[in-house]
Structure 1
Amino acid sequence: MRIRSSSSFGIPLIISLLFISTLSSYCLTPTASNLIRTTCKKITDGSPNLSYDFCVNSLQAAPNSHSAKDLRQLGDISFVLLRRNLTDSRSYIEQLLKHKKMETPMRIRVQGCVQIYSLAIFSAEEAFQHYNAKRYRDANTHVSAASTYVTTCEDGFSEIPGLVSPLTDINNVTSQLCDISNSIVTMFFD
């Protein structure tokens, strides 16, 4: 599910990813660059909700992507990105709660998203542990749970007609990062 909004949070994040990926692409080895592009092509061919450019830019922006030699290492990188994004997103959501002009229905849903993102972080950490132990189906289950939590956060705002989610862009980015990790995990299924 691709989540859309006019919220401005995702734009600076995406611009940052593009800038970092441009810089990091100069440092990528041909092998790492080809691995990222090939993997993202496979992932996005099977996913209408994931952008090829987002996939490439996200993975290239990761600090260790220049040294990725195989799909396994690229999976590690995708989990680092996902966990960092979930943690940063939860921190951002917590900051929203400090906004004094927030109406009660909005505040309740934003508070719920803090809790939901905490669960998503736990699920992503569990998924990474399973991935490291080569229990790929268990990793898949936990990444899918993290993705479901993100969707639940976004869906909470639609319960009240006219209430616009301030988190749509964040949730969209996080959802795509979940898709990247999950797609890499499924490539290891027997």
Structure 2
Amino acid sequence: MNHHLSPSISLLILIIITTSISSFNISHASIESTCMTATKTSPNVNYDFCLTALESNPKSHSADTKGLAIISTELTSTNATSTKAKIEVMLHHAKDQAIKSILKTCADVYSEMMDNLKFSMDALEGGRYADAVTYLSAALTEPGTCEDSFSEKGVNSLVAQEDKDALDLSAMALAITSSLG
């Protein structure tokens, strides 16, 4: 039995391996360059946060800029859904009327954010980038509205970290989507 590979098979394997390695490097560079562009165009985007967030999704390593915009919008949507669920649990257990009122406002705000993110995703997937930017811009304001509800009543925020994460993710998604044209 002959265990030698023909030269053409060996060459094909070498090409596949080389292409796979260079594809990974190109996509990783794409994540880095996308985050670099996002930080240059928006003072609200932190490079390390952007890199960590995008690299948390395995699909980002093979995604182009549109794919990274979709992934960042999905990450923002997941965060908004989780935050709204947390707010609803707190609302259910709250005894103080002022806290209930604030949490109700925050729940409503995150519902609006989730709607805007869904509309943005639909627009992104349909190549309507200007519409996606409009919806992401609206989503970006929502975490601040929740935070303002606490500060207006002189109450420490119960979801400060969640609001910050939502703001950071929204800013990242908006900056990446804005770069699409």
Asked if these proteins are the same fold (TM beyond 0.5), I'd say yes
Structure 2 residue aligned with 1:124: 117
Aligned length: 159
Deviation by residue 1:163-187 (Cα, 9 ceiling, x = unmatched): 1111111111111111111111111
Aligned with 1:88 (options 62, 68, 82)? 82
Letter paired with 1:187:
S
Question: Which AA in structure 2 matches 1:71?
Answer: T
Match of 1:171 in 2: 163
The aligned residue for residue 12 of structure 1 is none
1:51 Cα shift? 1.3
Q: Hey, what's the Cα distance between the residues in 2 that align with 1:36 and 1:66?
A: 7
Q: Report whether the alignment pairs 1:140 with 2:133.
A: yes
User: Are 1:182 and 2:171 matched, yes or no?
Assistant: no
Partner residue of 1:51? 46
For residue 145 of structure 2, what is the aligned residue in structure 1? 152
Q: What TM-score, normalized by structure 2, do the two folds share? A: 0.82
User: Could you tell me how far 1:81 is from its partner in structure 2?
Assistant: 0.8
Which is greater in Rg? 2
Amino acid paired to 2:78? R
> d(CA) in 2 for partners of 1:88 and 1:128?
18
TM superposition shift of 1:99: 3.0
Q: Secondary structure at the match of 2:66?
A: helix
TM-score for the superposition, normalised by structure 1: 0.78
The answer for the alignment partner of 1:33 in structure 2 is 28
Amino acid at match of 1:64: K
Asked if 1 retains the 8 angstrom alpha-carbon contact of 2:76 and 2:169, the reply is yes
Give the fraction of aligned pairs with identical amino acids, expressed as a percent.
31
1:97-112 map, 5 Å: 97-100=91-94, 102-112=95-105
User: Which ranges of structure 2 fall in alignment gaps of 5 or more residues?
Assistant: 1-22
**How far did residue 48 of structure 1 move?**
2.4
Contact in 1 for aligned 2:65/2:180 (Cα 8 Å): no
- 4+ aligned runs moved over 4 Å, structure 1: none
SS class of match (1:141): helix
Q: Secondary structure at the match of 1:29?
A: helix
Distance in 2 between residues matched to 1:143 and 1:134, nearest whole Å: 14
Gaps of 5+ in 1: 1-27
Greater fraction helix: 2
In the alignment, residue 143 of structure 1 is paired with which amino acid?
L
RMSD: 1.6
Deviation digits for residues 146-173 of structure 1, max 9, x if unmatched?
A: 1112211111111123x11111111111
